Amino acid sequence: MNYSMVRSLILKDWYFQRRAILLALAGGVLSLGVVALGGQAGFTIGLILLVTIMGLISAITVMGNTLGERENQTLAFTMSLPISHLEYTTSKILGNLLIFVPFWLTLVAGCMALIVVAPAIHGLFAFTVIMAVEILVGTCLMIAVALVTESKGWAISAMVTANLAINVVGYLVAHIPGIRNGMWGTAIQWRPAATISLLVEFALIALLLGGAFFIQSRKTDFI
């Protein structure tokens, strides 16, 4: 693996997405400002803003970095560089994730802070962690589908699926006995059901990204 080449490709993609990244950063700072205003309303509005910005940034970067190459016919230029398909795939996955993950980590930290400062909702801790990772799963789904299919239609379908999945997964997780019990309590609890749920989510992430690498390595036509 030529890491220097992967780094060059990631920096190139970031350069072309720099306005979106800067806008998202500004939005992220604004969201945290709203959170810092204090009160339950401030926390809630700030976190909703942050989730919205996260959705937007992942959509913009996936569309621009991954699908834009084919749409703008720059893929031939990129693939004519001294890179292998593995390096191309790595750069696209890492490039997208490295933009998204800081926002995601901020969201997770914000949520944790909200829960820690409000004893009344301590019981939501496990549920919140699982749902935060579910958002990461959704983003990985979008990246993998966009990369493998190189189709705007499929990528949009993946985005819709990821957004709908938040509600479905939220409903299902909230009904797992090990999580449901104590969810509305005032004590932070972490039961085996939460660990299993997290492991399933991380396995899904590994499956999606590993699957993307596998399918890319089996592809015979890159242009």
Residue from 29, 48, 76, 196 that binds another protein (CB under 8 A)?
76
Min separation Cβ 9 and another protein, Å? 10
81 binds another protein per the rule CB under 8 A? yes
167 binds another protein per the rule CB under 8 A? no
Nearer to another protein, 73 or 167 (CB): 73
Tell me the one-letter amino acid at 81.
L
Min separation Cβ 56 and another protein, Å? 20
DSSP 8-state assignment for residue 64: I
DSSP 8-state assignment for residue 182: T
Tell me if residue 175 falls in helix, strand or coil: coil
72 binds another protein per the rule CB under 8 A? yes
Nearer to another protein, 149 or 161 (CB): 149
Q: Residue-wise over 167-194: b if at least 16 C-beta within 10 A, else e? A: eebeeebeebebbeebbeeeeeeeeebb
26 binds another protein per the rule CB under 8 A? no
Nearest residue to 125 via CA among 135, 112, 134: 112
Residue from 22, 36, 44, 77 that binds another protein (CB under 8 A)?
77
Report d(CA 43, CA 118) in Å as an integer: 11
Residue from 53, 87, 90, 147 that binds another protein (CB under 8 A)?
87
Tell me the one-letter amino acid at 130.
I
Transcribe 72-125 into DSSP letters: TT-HHHHHTSS--HHHHHHHHHHHHHHHHHHHHHHHHHHHHHHHHH-GGGGGGH
Min separation Cβ 136 and another protein, Å? 29
5 binds another protein per the rule CB under 8 A? yes
Report d(CA 88, CA 219) in Å as an integer: 13
Nearer to another protein, 70 or 122 (CB): 70
**Please, which of residues 111-150 interact with another protein by CB under 8 A?**
none
154 binds another protein per the rule CB under 8 A? no
With tokens 């660990």, the residue in question is 195
Residue from 89, 112, 191, 220 that binds another protein (CB under 8 A)?
220
Residues in contact with another protein, total (CB under 8 A)?
22
Q: Is 140 exposed, middle or buried (0-12, 13-18, 19+ CB in 10 A)?
A: buried
Q: Which residues bind another protein (CB under 8 A)?
A: 2, 5, 8, 12, 15-16, 72-74, 76-77, 79-84, 87, 220-223
